[in-house]
Amino acid sequence: MMKSRRSALLLCFLVPVIITTGYFIFRHFAPFGSSSILTVDMGQQYVDFFAHYHDTLLHDPSGFLYSFAKGLGGDMFGTWSYYLMSPLNLLILFFPVSMLPSVLAIITILKYGLAGLSFGYFLEKKYQISDWPIIGFAVSYALMGWMVANQLNTLWIDAAILLPLIFLGLDQLIKTRSAKLYTVSFTAMLLINYYMGWMIAIFIVAYMLVFSLFKSLPESQISYGTILIKWLKASLLSGILSAWLLIPTFFSLLSSKTHYSKNEFRIRFEYNPLDILGKFVNGSFDFKQLPSGTANVFVASIVITLFIYYYFSATIKPRIRIANLTITAFFVLSMCFQPLDLLWHGMQLPVWYPYRFSFIFSFWMLITAFEALLDILSNRLHWKGLFGSVAVVIIGMVYIGSRMKKLEYLHPGNYVWGWVYLLLSIGLIFFYGFYRKNKLLSIAIAILMTGEMSLNFVNSLNNISYLNNSDYTKFAGVTRPLVNKIKQRDHGFYRTGQTFSRTKNDALTADFNGGSIFSSTLESATSNFFGNIGQPNGDAYVFYSNGTIFTDSLLSMKYWLNERPVTIKTNQKTMPQFLSTLTSKPDLSKYQLLSQTKLTNTYQNPYALPIGFASPEKPLKVTGVPNNPVTYQNQLAKQLDPQIGQLFEPASYQDISYHNIYPVMNLDNAVLRKKNMMAQSYVTIKVPIEKNTSYYMTMGPNISNTQLSVLVNGNNLVQFRPAKKTVVANIATGGTANDTITVKFYANANDVWLQNVKLYKVNDDKMTDFSQTLNRSPFKVTHWNNHQLSGNINVKSVHQSLTTTIPYSKGWHVQVDHHAVKPKKWAKMFIYLPISKGSHHVTFTYWPEGLGTGLIISGIGLILIVGEFYYKKRKRSSR
């Protein structure tokens, strides 16, 4: 036994911290070098949310409710409840945004340590033992395969920290009727990440039902019925205390994620269930396992052997073993049978990161194996049990070896190491059965488990590549000062566009009102609108990368940030790597250049409309959406200004020529077929460019960059693809004289479909008329933050509406001259209000739907807790 319980718990925390810190130093992750832990979603999504977290808590708390940096504007309550509620995130507040990669590395290290500490504490409290093997088991939990594979999903790791405490609380509830720890820890889980909380809830429900059915709950002096009622009350109380966050999050999901779900319920096995055995081999993880693959369940070989030994032990009651085996079977089936997989993931199969609940199975294996170790300690080693478990694991390893060619993530060297650690583990268990009180053997267990988990940690993460620290820090260092300079110049409400991009969430990092977002809580209406106007969109993202002069005006894109090429030593010009070009935008030539730096230009859009303006009410009721984005933009323009006519007109081309391509009748929807498959192939057209006119080309969603390259006057036409619908690309802008451009379509495949390839033009005079008409009665914002806008509007005629580009949501509440008015929706996206002639003061306030109800329910729950506390206190004092 260890001399000090505190020493054991300290090592449970420090050993994972030392291992992960050592590896981070080895990989030069910031703050230990020039690399970073940013990869996949951590680099493309989460880090930007953390920047928003920093700015919200330090500068603008209204960002907790809503943000205009989220794809034109969107609810942030669901975003916070899913991504940002970990208490460790508070460390972010002590550092500038530019240091986020370093801070996130520190937080990640701490989470590994806290997971080990939590599991070690659970083992000590539940089993009333303090010995060296606890450290080995704690390290195995902290560095289990799920933790390593999901290191980049830092928002989920808190679940692994809280799970041992929740299960310990449940054990205390059963044994002593004390529900304090269970209620507090489960409430914390629901508040920190409701998604993972759902998975833990499924586990707890399954455990209570199965072990009650087999009469196998831990020994207690109270009846099963009383235990179940106590557990249900405690679980309900956790839900009540979390209601202030869960209820508005539920409504947020109704407008976002639930719209993307498909009927994916199918009675089928997703893969051969035996293939999951491959994940018990050291280093059984690579990048391909992120989007798809089997569950990540790696634990130490000692754990696997003892876990199987548990079911052979003659001294563990049969009904307890059967109950345990039933839970195990439920887990195994869940990790390969689609209906159960669907249940664990909230009835939506995950996009990337499959079997996200598998950490619970690893937890289950670890506590089962630990109980087997305690059984050996108390009742000696059962040789039949040992031989049976050894036979099973050896057969499993042989099977894995026979499947290695199909299990691509397995490397021969790691398979050999798997045999080495397995044989050492079997030998150690064998000797431990003879010398149960031997301190050196206890230490050896801890060392062997730590060594195996460390090797798996290194081998697994070596298969993943990471971003350089400067990819983020330089981008934040360039964009935030640019945005701050604009804010100093203009205190009103406006949106800002970019022709360069690091991620779709740049507006969150640089803290400006933008038009792009990548978030699983993206409102479906926003995604649909972007697709309708020719912008790239998906289930979880929108990208304002292909704005026309009309959409720039309509959506208040008043300022634009544009990258500038830099001259290198060879006198060639190139773009800095961290300012990668997002889109070609010739229209910037007609915007006003405000300022320049060595790397960027800042432009002001003279056509930008305010966030609200007066327009005729009746046309806004048109709801049909044409398939062509340019036709739809024409429709929107005519709704707002019925006198504008056709804003966009078809543009012509001439002098078509073919190089190694069979001639076609018309470019639109033509199929380019090569004559010689190996030779360069392209079609050339000449496009006459009228002065003071913008030109655009539509391209269908099935055209990929790998199939088709487009060059305009010899320069690549840069645009973001893919998209769900046809996109619009800005190809040219006429200056003060007529001109002609050359457009070449390079076929990069044998057959290339020019889906929906059409040319359009917009004259500057028409655009000026449109902008001036809607600017006659602007909504002048006098005060605004992320959840409230106040201002004045002077409506000069009857039958008008205050038309806005504020995304419609039931959470928006509007007052006109201090009287509540129900907002309406136009373009299936934005808010408008019928409004009378004259001057009006209007206030828009966002309050998440369901937040009021949630606060009331949680408030009642707190009152009941306080009331019960004082009632019991008075009852004790009156005795």
**List of E strands, 626-767:** 649-650, 654-659, 671-673, 682-689, 693-699, 708-712, 715-716, 727-733, 739-747, 751-753, 758-763
What Å distances lie between residue 68 and 295, 507, 511, 805, CA to CA?
38, 9, 10, 11
Instruction: Give me the mean pLDDT over the 568-573 stretch.
Output: 57
Q: What are phi and psi of 840, to 5 degrees?
A: -140, 150
Q: Are 591 and 759 in contact (CB under 8 A)?
A: no
Looking at residue 318, its pLDDT comes to 95
N- to C-terminal Cα separation, the chain = 43
Q: Name residues whose C-beta falls within 8 Å of residue 491's C-beta, 6 or more positions apart in sequence.
A: none
Alpha carbon 383 to chain centroid distance?
49
CA atoms within 13 A on the CB side of 82: 20
Q: Nearest 10 degrees: CA dihedral of 345, 348, 349, 350?
A: -70
CA 254, 256, 257, 262 dihedral sign is: positive
Q: Tell me if the bond preceding 31 is cis, omega within 30° of 0.
A: yes
Percent of the chain with pLDDT over 90: 89
Place of tokens 């493309």: 44
Instruction: Assign residue 470 a region (left: φ > 0; alpha: ψ between -120 and 50; beta: otherwise).
Output: alpha
Higher pLDDT, 248 or 868: 248
User: In the block, which residue shows the tokens 């460790």?
Assistant: 88
Model pLDDT for residues 532-546, shown as the tens digit of each residue? 999 999 989 999 998
Largest CA distance in the chain: 102
pLDDT tops 60 at residue 576: yes
How far is it, in rounded angstroms, from Cα 38 to Cα 46?
9
Indicate the SS3 state at residue 837: coil
Average pLDDT score over the chain = 95
In order of 32, 146, 319, 475, the CA distances from 598 in angstroms are 29, 45, 74, 14
- Token pair for residue 10? 């300290």
Distance between CA atoms of 399 and 278, rounded to whole angstroms?
A: 9
Q: What is the predicted pLDDT for the residue at 104? A: 98
The DSSP element (H or E) to which 137 belongs, if any, is helix 132-142
Residue matched to tokens 């004045």: 792
Do the Cβ atoms of 611 and 493 come closer than 8 Å?
yes
Q: Is residue 571 over pLDDT 80?
A: no
Q: What is the pLDDT of residue 728?
A: 97
Q: Would you say residue 678 has pLDDT above 80?
A: yes
Q: Please count the other Cβ atoms lying within 10 Å of the Cβ belonging to residue 752.
A: 23
Domains and CATH numbers, the chain: 156-260+849-879 (no CATH), 264-397+409-435 (no CATH), 649-769 (2.60.120), 783-846 (no CATH)
pLDDT in tens, 30-61: 999 999 999 999 999 999 999 999 999 999 99
> Does 486 score more than 90 pLDDT?
yes
**Distance from C-alpha of 445 to C-alpha of 126, rounded to nearest angstrom:** 20
pLDDT at 831: 98
For the record, the structure tokens of 682 come out as 């392209």
pLDDT of residue 875: 79
Residues 6+ apart with CB under 8 A from 501: 516, 545, 580, 582
Which range, of 26-40, 215-229, 410-424, 702-716, averages the lowest pLDDT? 215-229
Task: Report the pLDDT averaged over residues 767-790.
Answer: 97
Rounded distance, CA 871 to CA 524, Å? 49
Helix (H) or strand (E) segment spanning residue 833: strand 830-835
Residue 762 has pLDDT above 80, yes or no: yes
851 neighbors 248 (Cβ within 8 angstroms): yes
Q: What is the pLDDT of residue 844?
A: 98
Q: Over 60: is that where the pLDDT of 222 sits?
A: yes
Q: Single out the residue of 846, 848, 858 nearest to residue 256, CA to CA.
A: 848
pLDDT over threshold 90, residue 219: no
CA 350 – CA 154 distance, rounded (Å)? 17
Mean pLDDT of 758-764: 98
Q: Looking up tokens 């708390």, which residue turns up?
A: 61
Give 262-298 pLDDT, tens digit per residue.
Answer: 557 889 999 999 999 999 999 999 999 999 999 999 9
Residue 567 has pLDDT above 70, yes or no: no
Angle between helices 318-334 and 194-213 (to 10 degrees): 150
Q: For the chain, give the number of residues.
A: 879
Answer yes or no: is pLDDT of 703 > 70: yes
Whole-angstrom Cα distance, residue 756 to residue 669? 5
pLDDT digits (tens, 9 = 90+) for 462-482: 999 999 999 999 999 999 999
Tokens of 849: 């739907």
Q: What is the pTM of this model?
A: 0.96
Phi then psi for residue 146, to 5 deg, are -65, -40
Round to whole Å and give the CA distance between 557 and 568. Answer: 32
Task: Sort strands 495-498 and 557-563 into parallel, antiparallel or unpaired.
Answer: parallel
Percent of the chain at pLDDT above 70? 98
pLDDT confidence of residue 217: 82
Q: What is the mean pLDDT of residues 319-340?
A: 97
The model's confidence at residue 620, banded by pLDDT at 50, 70 and 90, is: very high
- In this structure, are strands 682-689 and 739-747 parallel, antiparallel, or unpaired? antiparallel
pLDDT at 33: 97
- Fill in the amino acid letter for 663: P
Q: Alpha carbon 783 to chain centroid distance?
A: 32
Distance between CA atoms of residues 724 and 253, nearest Å = 21
pLDDT tens readout for residues 350-378: 989 999 999 999 999 999 999 999 999 99
